[in-house]
Chains A and B, each alone.
Chain A
């Protein structure tokens, strides 16, 4: 059972149990969501393998939204609510991270390892760029009129790593 240990304050004790108060985080899903929302994408995906509760909380859009916003440079403080609905319509933040932001961050990390030649402007993934790529991918996944056999969407392949762990 996961516990959060709070610092113990003697003066607040009213008798009762001496020692530290224990706070099982699994009792409070919202708190868990807050915590998980501060992870990076890979850690969050791993956290989703811990138990069912964590898996469920880890799939919440709000959690992934927090993760996405933490990792991208948001250009203008535009209509946040509008962004939410558009992203939801295109497939959700979790998908956005998995398809666009995650691979992009991995690619940039690889580039940084290779050398400092990349200009500073290019080191961040901007939200607008990620959303553009996401929208193109979503578009490619739409079926044709007659439900014709479509090729698997390939516009994001240039970002793809060989193994998709999520």
Chain B
């Protein structure tokens, strides 16, 4: 007994130095946990470890068993796993060693139903849930399919070590493990660090800490474990769907909703939307119309409203408008008659700023014509005309000569060039003096055309026929149009997680909640509809076919367009705009070979590019004029 006591104490001493910061971080919680000190070994208690002397023998014996179990199982399967265990474990403040050891033993002997892959690498910010899905998950997913009996909750993975500063995160984890501290086991190996999974959102942590500290209960690490399982379950379900194994997929989907409920914040919402989309895909292979699966007439008005809220709540659309306007403004320099064709008119929020900029430009405002294109409206209300009327009012107050025309088109492919150029009778004889230059503007519209083969080529041909001086294209920066369902799913999961993170991060101040709070919820619904479309729909109904900037570049070049670099003015204005958004620290404007992208931390989410028809004398001379002025 004494020898074991000494061993344990010696082991404790060896890591006295490392244990100290845990003591400091844990002091108040440790006191709550420690309860009475009777029978607690004093030496270890001085280090902050609570071990009852009476339990020592028992604990020591169990630890030996544990070591054998861990050693054998790990070595049998994966050397890397063993190496992680050997070198990469942190120890925590134990309060009830026997129970914890029991727990570990039972888990080792009875593997959990799902194989758990190591979790993906964590975000830099412990509160956000970004993760690098495409490379990490696929690779770790393979490891997961090797059936590991070792079901320890502290699955080693490539995760950052817990810093002392992240003490809330770490201590929350510790508290959540209050009944099960692995400390003494680590004494059997030198310098072990348990690589922890990505930290759960702070709300879960504080909840865990509160409940654990209050009730000395074991609020298990399940919140973290659930996060990992959640991601894994989503991927497993997607793979099952891809393999047409709908029964398995259906079973997993149910698990997903349970797991999602245990998460908080952005992850829960994202998982919820993906789970719902998967469920629809599984149980109804031909989903009925609605839920944004196809842009029906009924949903057009709803779409506009959600789009408006998305505009308010985050800067992506504002960024798109401002950068596109800047490019158009520069392209229009020197011309007295200008014409803008907008492929997605909606509420026309892009154009007041352009009107104002044209009113203030040197040389005075030009004569401005706007052609707005929109989908058919359900109740025969002429939304396009109303928008045009409002813009006309604004133009009148700032004294810009303004003409407007609205076109209703179910799809952009229905347009013909002569519609856009307008009747020659317009404007009378003024036509001959001043050439009218055309700009075409497409914000998040072109990707829908990829749903029908040939539609995009037709539209690009129409654009070329109009001979625009500039074409501004803004698209989501993601590849949601891959051939394999699993690839699309993975990409979409990553993309929308980042989007939702940015919504959480840049949330409006709590006092502005009446409209601001709704904005965020509506924006999430807006994104949710896109998620639904990407995951649950196929064929012509799957209209959210986002592609990356390089892919769009290739398409535009093939169609005969040359890239026009977006100038530094636009970059500066975009940076200034983002600085004004709360949470603006997370947004990044980057320049990508003449195009501008806006992203959240390291991930670009939306890209603006500008084009002109290659070899067109009018547009070439115009751009030369712009370049020289």
Contacts and interface: CB of A to CB of B under 8 A. Distances in A.
Given A89-B399, A159-B580, A131 B356 contact: yes
Given A122-B575, A122-B578, A129-B576, A157 B394 contact: no
Given A104-B580, A123-B579, A135-B394, A78 B362 contact: yes
A122 B579 contact: yes
B312 A158 contact: yes
Contact size range, B: 35 or more
Interface in B506-534: 508-509, 511-512, 515-516, 519
A125 interface: yes
B77 interface: no
Nearest to B315: A158
Interface string B348-384: 1100110111011110100000000000000000000
A159 B573 CA distance: 16
Interface in A77-128: 78-79, 82-83, 85-86, 89-90, 104, 107-108, 111, 114-115, 117-119, 121-126, 128
A5 interface: no
Contact of A119 (B391, B511, B575, B581): B575
A123 B584 CA distance: 12
A130 B543 CA distance: 36
A108 B580 contact: yes
Interface stretch (A22-30, A48-56, A137-145): A137-145
A21 interface: no
Nearest to A159: B580
A128 B575 contact: no
Given A135-B352, A136-B352, A139-B352, A126 B394 contact: no
A142 B390 contact: yes
B397 A90 contact: yes
B283 interface: no
A162 B509 contact: yes
B362 to A, nearest CB: 6
Contacts of A166: none
Contacts of A125: 576, 580
B572 interface: yes
B470 to A, nearest CB: 19
B359 A86 contact: yes
A46 interface: no
B561 interface: no
A90 B357 CA distance: 13
Contacts of A136: 349, 352-353
Interface in B574-627: 575-582, 584-585
Nearest to B516: A157
A119 B362 CA distance: 29
B512 A121 contact: no
| Main SS class of interface, A | helix
Interface string A36-76: 00000000000000000000000000000000000000001
Contact size range, A: 35 or more
A139 B394 contact: yes
Nearest to B325: A132
Residue of A118, A136, A138, A144 ringed by the most chain B CB atoms within 10 A:
A136
Contacts of A83: 360
B576 A157 contact: no
Interface string B386-403: 100111011001110000
A54 B360 CA distance: 32
A108 B512 CA distance: 18
A21 B578 CA distance: 52
Contact of A86 (B393, B398, B575): B398
Contact of B355 (A78, A82, A135, A160): A135
Given A78-B362, A89-B398, A157 B579 contact: no
B364 to A, nearest CB: 7
Contacts of B577: 129
Contacts of A82: 359-360, 364
A163 B16 CA distance: 53
Contacts of B49: none
Contact of A108 (B364, B390, B579): B579
Nearest to B388: A145
B311 interface: yes
B312 A162 contact: no
A152 interface: yes
Given A119-B575, A158-B312, A86 B360 contact: yes
A131 B360 CA distance: 10
B390 A144 contact: yes
Closest CB pairs A-B (n = 8): A162-B511, A122-B579, A132-B353, A139-B352, A135-B356, A135-B352, A89-B397, A122-B575
7 contacts: A82-B364, A86-B399, A111-B585, A123-B579, A125-B580, A135-B352, A158-B315
Interface of B: 311-313, 315, 322, 325, 348-349, 352-353, 355-357, 359-362, 364, 385-386, 389-391, 393-394, 397-399, 508-509, 511-512, 515-516, 519, 572-573, 575-582, 584-585
Given A132-B352, A139-B349, A145-B389, 8 more contacts: A83-B360, A117-B585, A119-B575, A125-B580, A132-B322, A134-B356, A139-B394, A145-B386
